[in-house]
Amino acid sequence: MKKFFMGMIAVIVCGTAFAGNLNEIKASAVSDDDLSTSTPDKIVSTFYGSGRMKIRQILALLFFMFCTTIFAQGRDYINEMEQNDLQIRQKPNTEGLLSDYLHSANIKEDTIFAILYSPAECFRCEAAIPAFYDKLKRNNPNNKLLLITAYGDSKTASWYNSKNNYKADYYIYDTKSVYSNIFSFNSEGMYGLYILKLVPKEGVFVTGGQYTVLGAEFVKQLVLCKKRIAPHMYELDKKDSYKEVADQIAMINVPMPKWKQTDIEVNTKDGVEISSIYDIPKIENGHLFFNDMLNNGIMLFNKENGLFKFKRLFQADEAEKKKFVSVPDKDFRNLVKQGQVFYIALSANMLDSSHIGISYSLPKILREKVGNEWNFSFYNAPAVLIRDINNYTSGKMISPDFDLEHSKYFYLHFVFDLFNNKLWTGSEKLTWPMDGFEKEDIVGQKDLDPFNGSFYKTFNPIIASFRINDGKCDGHYGKLERIQENSRTGYYYLNNVFAHEGKTFLYGNGYTGKLYVTDSLHLDKYKVYMVFDTDTVPMIAPDSTKFYTHEYGNLYSSYFTKCITTVKMDKRNIYCLVKHGMPRTDNFQKDRYSFVIVNRKNGKTKEYPLPPIAPAEYKCLGYGINAQDKHFNPFMFIKKDGKYIIRMLEI
């Protein structure tokens, strides 16, 4: 599934302006230490986002304006943090668990300050790690920081922290997500980065959350804070979501075929680590490639002598990094040094036999002189980078113009297709469930309020096309389906899939089970294929008390347990991977997958469940479809005894 994020943000800080059509947004952070400065080497303000979460939640439009007046000493930053949109609390009666959890770090202090985060899930959030450490020590050198890194592999997580110079006085590597037994979130899991104040011996969580302003005054108030925020269990944590869908996952009412299994070793070289995979791993005619999260780039392997051998890590080159930067080199270098600049690799597709396209978010930085001060503006510029897989040279970049300032749609370019000289991306209206929209912003507006039945009578596209030659949007297509209307979930469950063959184009929302096949000239005419049927699913009645909240969408998680994650197509059939599991999150050890073949002539389907993973023996990194000379079969990417293996499956 895809990591969901999104947004647009503007932050104005006393002569230093920040704005962005960001691809991962969750909260913004601005330092109040440096308000009197206007030189870029003094800027410590950053955007923090929900980053490339596997949870694929759509979080978007945030708008913040900070002026000198709001940074008064009387401002209660702790209350702002505790009441932020995304909240964390200690679960009731978990003091013993927390004390034991912290004991492993051998903390000697009575009070400890901590950061809880998951590597590479939110790049912008991570800028807070060195910033908070520095400000904590400036407040008092005796203040101690604990860095809690939630990741399945402690060795890889330690390497990542070291590579990024994330300093702390103590470290905990939580490989089993033990934190989730102690802390409760008002969202579907941990999004972004949380600052915590803890009393280790007593196992007490004093306060914490996602801050609004990271500066000296915030740290001062945090250090002085004595009042414990009351333990609380949010609704999403009162039930075991996996238990609710376990029966459905197990009920793949199709016999297991006798799969022929062939294991191929994935061979890295010294100094190259495979961490975890964002998006779908892909194999095309002997080339294995995927976005490695902690390496933040596309790893390419070629099949040679019975092995997949590592060839190259594709990242933005120096020219591409500065493609959208319009500030002097000195300013740019200072901004990079201060952690203000981000290059975010997303997904990749083979474009032809020798070229790969990589979806990227690149920094767009502008400056404007106002009086005697420079204003700096930061945006994310969407781009598709082109690479030759044989000689690794760069091709001409594709730069779609999302124009969010004037558009009523948000565009999801982490999944894309190139077809008919156009770039195809996901599309959704700027409304809930994106962050930044309050009830009063959308209630009563039939084209924006997904909790109003009239919303579903308006045009609600799920994809958009952009001309490659000039980057301009030239059309919106698709629609929300009946299951989304009946549940009043709008765009909450959206997972775009694309494929093409010859002059034929396929698109759909994986959660609805429907795929649309059309041609390049008549996009308004299409044939519908039903991979699985959601139209007749009986729904619980919408709960109006939860409208416009983070919690609402999750009420329907048990109705969206199937999702098409990737598709391929030839003249005869459509080939699909279907996930059976909790929506909007990946758990490869618990989720089940099936391979579904749809006959393009008669629409009939054949489903083949994939063999389950034995957790004690394997760690699964992902599932994909092997495309070999127009022959399609599923595969599993697994780790066993420290080795990486592609397990090919054939019927």
Beta pairing, strands 463-467 & 473-477: antiparallel
pLDDT digits (tens, 9 = 90+) for 427-464: 999 999 987 778 898 999 999 999 999 999 999 999 99
Q: How far apart are the C-alpha atoms of 516 and 526, rounded to whole Å?
A: 6
Stretch among 87-96, 140-149, 518-527, 538-547 having the lowest mean pLDDT: 518-527
Per-residue pLDDT band at 250 (split at 50, 70, 90): low
pLDDT of res. 618: 85
Contacting residues for 545 by C-beta, under 8 A, at least 6 apart: none
Q: How far apart are the C-alpha atoms of 511 and 498, rounded to whole Å?
A: 14
User: Which residue has better confidence, 245 or 233?
Assistant: 233
Per-residue pLDDT band at 242 (split at 50, 70, 90): low
Expressed in angstroms, the distance from the first to the final Cα of the chain is 25
Instruction: Report the Cα 66 to chain-centroid distance in Å.
Output: 27
Q: Which of 202, 199, 207 is nearest to 231 (CA)?
A: 207
Q: Two tokens at 527?
A: 């044939």
Contacting residues for 147 by C-beta, under 8 A, at least 6 apart: 114, 115, 117, 129, 161, 166, 168, 170, 171, 172
Q: What is the mean pLDDT of residues 112-141?
A: 93
Q: Which residue(s) pair with 169 in the sheet?
A: none
Q: Which DSSP category does 394 fall into?
A: B
pLDDT of res. 481: 96
**pLDDT, the chain, mean:** 85
CA dihedral 497, 392, 263, 645 (to 10 degrees): -80
279 touches 290 (CB < 8 A): yes
Stretch among 55-59, 224-228, 305-309 having the lowest mean pLDDT: 55-59
Stretch among 4-13, 204-213, 615-624 having the lowest mean pLDDT: 4-13
Instruction: Report the Cα 645 to chain-centroid distance in Å.
Output: 25
Residue 405's SS3 state is coil
Q: What is the mean pLDDT of residues 336-343?
A: 83
Beta pairing, strands 307-314 & 260-267: parallel
Residue 512's SS3 state is helix
Q: Which residue(s) pair with 299 in the sheet?
A: 290, 313
Strands of 296-339 (E only): list them.
297-304, 307-314, 324-325
- SS3 sequence, 481-503? CHHHHHHCCCCCCCCEEEEEECC
- Could you tell me the sign of the dihedral formed by the alpha carbons of 297, 278, 174, 194, in that order? positive
Residue at token pair 């009578």: 457
Q: Which DSSP category does 186 fall into?
A: S
Q: How far apart are the C-alpha atoms of 270 and 576, rounded to whole Å?
A: 35
36 touches 44 (CB < 8 A): no
Per-residue pLDDT band at 370 (split at 50, 70, 90): confident
CB 504: neighbour CB atoms within 10 A?
Answer: 17
Residue 125's SS3 state is helix
pLDDT of res. 631: 92
Instruction: Report the Cα 145 to chain-centroid distance in Å.
Output: 27
Instruction: Report the Cα 200 to chain-centroid distance in Å.
Output: 32
Residues in the chain: 651
Q: What is the mean pLDDT of residues 553-562?
A: 90
pLDDT of res. 260: 96
Per-residue pLDDT band at 31 (split at 50, 70, 90): very low
Q: Which DSSP category does 476 fall into?
A: E
Q: How far apart are the C-alpha atoms of 275 and 103, rounded to whole Å?
A: 27
CA dihedral 123, 129, 131, 132 (to 10 degrees): 140
